[in-house]
Structure 1
């Protein structure tokens, strides 16, 4: 009986005071816009009253969409590679880089010697049509400076810069004319991994523990009198 009482009291106290790990995430995005561009993303901070931060994960997804075309002016056939690319960079308010992602579409085309007409078609010209690609990179931070920067009592927001630079290119022919049109979009997910603050035990929890210990003492005293 006494073992059961102690177990019940201790279990209740541990349940009331134990801490556990949790994750809370926030998403923000930038719609597809003609490159090059720079924008500010407002991201929610971690509410430090919820507990203690263990890590912050930044997941930056980027996409590039558009078209490219080229015309070879060479006197011989060649293989032309068209690459549509955008470099998306997420930075802190002080300008330091958090995470970078680089979506790339690339394809190669065989062409003949210049056909005499610069029309990006025929036998010496190529065009991708409308194409696109996406890519995601992530960064996990456990630095004290980031914990201080991305958290405060009650939450709040922080402004981060997101830039998208077009890096499209054409290669393969010694004399080559190329044109590109691209747009880029970005999606950011910030996840806060934290250990929740241990709640203060309710008064009845302490009462149960004290009562159990008191009853245990009474049982022991009775046992001692019976043995005397």
Structure 2
């Protein structure tokens, strides 16, 4: 085939020029991002027997360790006790647990702040994927609650872009002389149960972050808080009626063996439980004692500082539990580059056909 003078003078053929134009346009559509942890903190406070509250805090990057952890279990002079554990790691998981019995007030929390930059040449649609770790809200009634006696457990989750909340969920379980009540706001599908025990289901979430403009840096703040409060004294023995506990989605044998909330599973050899399994407890008498409450949950959270977003750890089934992903929002100039490249390719092909007499 004859080579034209035009083609021999220029190292770039029409096809190569077209490919370069299209490639440049497509490169504008490719998602790219830069992410880093700005700060992370675990905190809590506790008191028992009406004493002054003690505060605990551990923060990153102040401690430069890449992890934060506050832990305390205390007993009062009477039968009061408190338990607190809030923790997190940029290469691990995070969670919070608050519990107590008798006369107590416990609060725990974890917060992580991340900056996320869209380094591509066009606006991108941001999406945040994550998984809630199973947990529980549980009130343990040791003796009948009378007068102003009560126990309560609560927790809340909140994801913010800048100062605006883009996803949240909170729940509160309270038992007093009038009975037990459960309330929730935001995403209520996290909670399953009844009476004095509600489980926090292990569910994944996909939250729309909206448009992130080219070169824009956004701040993502994720906060988990737990609370347990109570004012009770020991009373007479009480009868606990029979009941069934259904293992929720996301619950694993590790949860059933260590979280302490599925006490029935412990007494029936519950390690190895699967979602949907039913644990039955017979009716029984409980010796009069102080009452207590417990709140706990967390999120698998393995942070990877990658060029294309924030990746998280993977569960045993190989499913990604959380990440920030980007999809392009093409601008008019991008479409123009694509159409221009295609038009150039058509024009050069037509000229070649005329030159070759075809």
Please report the TM-score for the alignment, with normalisation by the length of structure 1. Answer: 0.49
Task: Identify which of structures 1 and 2 has the higher relative contact order when contacts are C-alpha pairs closer than 8 Å and 6+ apart.
Answer: 1
| Higher share in helix | 1
